Amino acid sequence: MLSRFRVIVIALLLAAFMVSGASAAELNAYTIMPEKYASQVFEAFTAATGIKVNFMRFSSGEALARVVAEKNNPQVDVILGGPADTYEAGIKENVFEAYKPAGADDIPAQFRSPQNFWTGIGVIPLVFLTNNTFLKDKGLAAPQSWNDLLDPAYKNGLQMADARTSGTATERIYTLVKVFGEDGAFDYQKKLHQNVQMYTKSGAGGAMPIATGQAASGIFYIVDALEIQQQGHNVVISYPKEGVTFGIEATGVLKGAKNMESAKKFVDWAASKAFAQLIVDKKINYIPTRTDVAVTNPALDVSKVKLFETDVAWKGANRKAYVDRWINEVIR
């Protein structure tokens, strides 16, 4: 009888261990996507799959530096968010695993890595974000041209991201190269620098100071500008008539990921219609890359905005040189 009891107990313990092991799947991630949004995304993924997610949020430059430094012993399995040129720079460092997620063919090829190192999950153009009270006090309209930001009225009033740490800032440089040409872009930025109050570590860092009137205006991805506007702050979003480039918000699996199966499941899910619908429903202000999900926020309708189609590989190839030139010519 005792022997039979022991067998039953051992069987129950073994079953409990197996269930525990089955539910212990997890995923470690760095997110470049703002933490408020990333937490909603990871919660939804856990609800859909049962996979627990541990994550830390960094700017794109910081996240890239970390995965490069850690590539011989990866500390995370995936990166969520951040512009695709960050991933292209990572490809050069051999930190990403090639993986084509299920459903990738429903995302246009221009929003995916040709070698499947990253998958685009959203599109985010650059915009101007300006404090309305400042505009009223100065008798100005919202900026409609890149040259408007050179107005002396903005002196010591602009906040925008630092190209050493932020993908928003490198996107700004890419746009200016498209508008003014390479040398003209850096000449323009030297003039713009005279009106800059602060360069922030993250792309969204200057948005709240603009909302509260500590700064007048700045250049942001639309996702960050809309977040401030949706909080009820007295700000206006506008686009320069000369045009803007746009970021492709991406995700990718790290080479040598310790939780490779979970990482691939996450990228499968991030490429799905369910994910695209989630970002629309949760007002996570990206334009979905999937063509079978439509935006409902009129502010994300960019049909009348001049957008530059810019090859992601070109961005990745020029990223370091442009950042170095910005450091040496603009801020020194």
78 phi and psi angles, rounded to 5 deg: -145, 160
Do the domain assignments include residue 19?
no
Name the least confident of 3-12, 38-47, 92-101, 137-146.
3-12
Q: Which residue range(s) make up the domain with 149?
A: 125-244+312-331
> Per the domain annotation, does 11 fall within a domain?
no
Which has more confidence, 312 or 135? 135
**Structure confidence at residue 33 (pLDDT):** 92
Q: Give me the pLDDT at residue 300, please.
A: 87
Q: Is residue 76 part of a domain?
A: yes
Same domain, 103 and 143: no
Mark whether 239 and 293 lie in a shared domain: no
Digit-coded pLDDT (tens) for 237-292: 999 999 999 999 999 999 999 999 999 999 999 999 999 999 999 999 999 999 89
Q: Where residue 296 sits, what CATH number does that domain have?
A: 3.40.190.10
Residue 133 sits in the same domain as residue 230: yes
1 domain residue, yes or no:
no
Residue 17 lies in a domain: no
258's CB contacts (< 8 A; 6+ apart) are: 28, 74, 77
Q: Which of 270, 229, 209 is nearest to 49 (CA)?
A: 270
Residue 80 and residue 207 in one domain: no
Q: How far is CA 39 from each of CA 29, 45, 67, 83, 270, rounded to the nearest angstrom? A: 11, 10, 21, 19, 14
> Hey, what amino acid is at 142?
A
Q: pLDDT tens digits for 26-64?
A: 999 999 998 999 999 999 999 999 999 999 999 988 999
Instruction: Label residue 19 by pLDDT band (50, 70, 90).
Output: very low
- 115 and 146 part of one domain: no
Do 253 and 204 belong together in one domain?
no
pLDDT at residue 309, as a whole number: 87
Task: Examine the domain organization and report whether 235 and 252 are in the same domain.
Answer: no
Residue 202 in domain:
yes
Residue 23 has pLDDT above 90, yes or no: no
Same domain assignment for residues 203 and 288: no
What tens digit of pLDDT does each residue of 284-321 get? 999 999 989 988 888 888 888 999 989 888 998 999 99
Q: What is the pLDDT of residue 257?
A: 98
Q: Domain tally for the chain?
A: 2
**Rg over CA atoms, the chain:** 22
pLDDT band per the 50, 70, 90 thresholds, residue 18: very low
Question: To the nearest whole number, what is the mean pLDDT of the chain?
Answer: 92
Statement: residue 2 has pLDDT above 60? no
What is the tens place of the pLDDT at every residue in 207-239?
999 999 999 999 999 999 999 999 999 999 999
Residue 316 falls inside a structural domain? yes
pLDDT number for residue 302 = 87
pLDDT digit string, tens, across residues 156-170:
999 999 999 999 999
**Which pair of tokens denotes residue 278?**
């989630």
Same domain, 81 and 131: no
What does each C-alpha distance from 301 to 146, 202, 223, 314 come to in angstroms?
21, 25, 13, 26
| 216 lies in some domain | yes
